[in-house]
Amino acid sequence: MSRHTPVMAVMVAAARKAARGLQRDFGEVENLQVSLKGPANFVTAADKKAEKTIFEELSKARPGYGFLMEEGGVVEGNDKSHRWIIDPLDGTTNFLHSIPHFAISIGLERDGQMVAGVIYNPITDEMFIGEKGQGAFLNDRRIRVAARRELTQGVVACGTPHIGRPGHEVYLTELRSVMNEVAGVRRMGAAALDLAYVAAGRYDAYWEANLQPWDMAAGIVIVREAGGFVSDLNGREDMLGTGGVIAGNDMLRNQLETLLKRARAKG
Ligand code: 2AM
Ligand code: CA
Ligand code: CA
Ligand code: CA
């Protein structure tokens, strides 16, 4: 803890505080109020409670910073250069099914750039953090992206398009190409953790389309601080604007980008 910068200490503390509610509710999912925001887009009382805790903690510690939150939307701050981007519970479907693979994600944007991120899985007690210029850590141990140079030896994660979202055909074409070229494909259902796992070298790469800013914000800086790349599906840096993301190490970047591009051209 001692090596956390002041702002990172604030983010970690907010995540830990909100996590206590999620830990409690995880065992009692059948008692939770669940509602639907759209087709198969669930939100529970736990999401909202966690977001409220994070909002209160961060507001106290950094008055004036703005917010972009999955459940609460936009809250403008007086400080126009800083904005928190928050997903209080990434992987709600897992949470509802008692699958211990979900996380709190808190990112900090300064002048349009992601500068700090925290992704915390309260069940495994894994805290992934990254801050610009400070490196990336998992529970205080330095992490780096995997060093594999060949996609054929890699494990690649992805996300499937959700009900009512476009892109199913494109996705199936991409998946068909990728699964034919890699050692394994994984689809765990929590985008923030997918990025955290890339940063930790567990996944060699990851791609997904149609994400929201709060799914990616924290993960972008953690992967980069772990020595990896993050780009959108066109090889540019507009992940938050386009909702598309590819992440991995630099050696796999071209291989995966080319593979996905070729699949999309076909599909
Ligand atoms: P969530 O659990 O915070 O909603 C996995 O593909 C990602 O998509 C997750 O990070 C998940 O975040 C999000 N997600 C899950 N169901 C969704 C839906 N029906 N529409 C849009 N995004 C969804
Ligand atoms: Ca959601
Ligand atoms: Ca999410
Ligand atoms: Ca969420």
Q: For residue 116, how far is its CA from the centre of ligand 2 (angstroms)?
A: 22
Whether 46 is in a domain gets the answer: yes
Neighbours of ion ligand 4 (CB under 5 A): 70, 87, 89
- Ligand 1 atom with the smallest distance to the CA of 194 is 10
The residue whose CA is least distant from atom 14 of ligand 1 is 41
Q: What is the pLDDT of residue 267?
A: 67
Report how many domains make up the chain. 2
- The residue range of the domain holding 49 is 6-142
- CA-CA distance, 46 to 26, in Å (whole number)? 9
Q: Which of 142, 174, 201 is the last residue of a domain?
A: 142
Query: Which whole number is the average pLDDT over 208-232?
Result: 98
125 is in an annotated binding site: no
Q: Which residues contact 158 (CB under 8 A, 6 or more apart)?
A: 171, 174, 175, 178, 185, 186, 187, 206, 207, 208
Q: What is the pLDDT of residue 165?
A: 83
Q: For residue 187, how far is its CA from the centre of ligand 2 (angstroms)?
A: 17
12 plus 39 within the same structural domain: yes
97 plus 160 within the same structural domain: no
Neighbour-count burial of 1, counting CB atoms closer than 10 A to its CB (0-12 exposed, 13-18 middle, 19+ buried): exposed
3-state secondary structure of 80: strand
Q: What is the CATH number of the domain that holds 236?
A: 3.40.190.80
Q: Are 203 and 57 in contact (CB under 8 A)?
A: no
- Ligand 1 atom with the smallest distance to the CA of 92 is 2
Reported as a single tens digit per residue, the pLDDT across 88-136 is 999 999 999 999 999 999 999 999 999 999 999 999 999 999 999 999 9
ipTM of the complex: 0.96
pLDDT exceeds cutoff 70 at 49: yes
40 plus 133 within the same structural domain: yes
89 plus 162 within the same structural domain: no
**Ligand 1 neighbourhood includes 103 CB (under 6 angstroms):** no
Q: For residue 134, how far is its CA from the centre of ligand 4 (angstroms)?
A: 27
Q: Are 135 and 153 in contact (CB under 8 A)?
A: no
Reported as a single tens digit per residue, the pLDDT across 22-44 is 999 998 988 889 999 988 899 99
Model-level pTM greater than 0.95? yes
**Ligand 1 neighbourhood includes 215 CB (under 6 angstroms):** yes
Q: What is the mean pLDDT of the chain?
A: 95
pLDDT exceeds cutoff 70 at 200: yes
Asked which of 25-29, 69-73, 174-178, 234-238 is least confident by mean pLDDT, the reply is 25-29
